Amino acid sequence: MNEYLLKEGFGLTETSSLADSLYLVLAGRVSDRKMGICFNWQTGYRFSVANCYELVNQLSVGWPDHSGNESYPIPKCWHSPDLLWEGKQLELRQSLMSYMLGQLVEYRESL
């Protein structure tokens, strides 16, 4: 179970909303392809989370491909930031979102 979600008091409704909106981004509903997961998860689907970056930081702990950078768990795409949602960068984002979705579902089922 994710201790951060428990400590922050995320309930069943909010956790379900987070999981549902993350699933939509994972399924390809990306509102701005030049922006990363947080922008597309938070802004694109208008749910209220005080700090999406902290949420991603906490939910990405243990993800096998983590970059080691708490602020940016996906290795940066230095050659072209326009390719965040293509090729290897897309694969990494999908993998991370799947992992975080699993964390949310596991937490929700523990409530």
45-79 pLDDT per residue, tens: 666 555 788 889 899 999 999 999 887 899 877 66
Judge whether residue 41 has pLDDT over 70: yes
Instruction: List the chain domain ranges.
Output: 3-110
Q: What is the pLDDT of residue 7?
A: 86
- Other beta carbons less than 10 A from residue 1's beta carbon: 12
DSSP letter assigned to residue 50: T
**What length is written for the chain?**
111
Tell me the per-residue pLDDT of 20-33, one tens digit each, with 9 for 90 and over. Answer: 889 999 999 998 88
Q: Quick check: 97 pLDDT over 90? A: yes
Write down the pLDDT at residue 98. 98
Q: Which residue has the tokens 């208008």?
A: 46
Q: Which residue has the higher pLDDT, 75 or 44?
A: 75
Distance in angstroms (rounded) separating the CA atoms of residues 26 and 29: 7
**What pTM was computed for the model?**
0.88
Residue with tokens 């993998």: 95
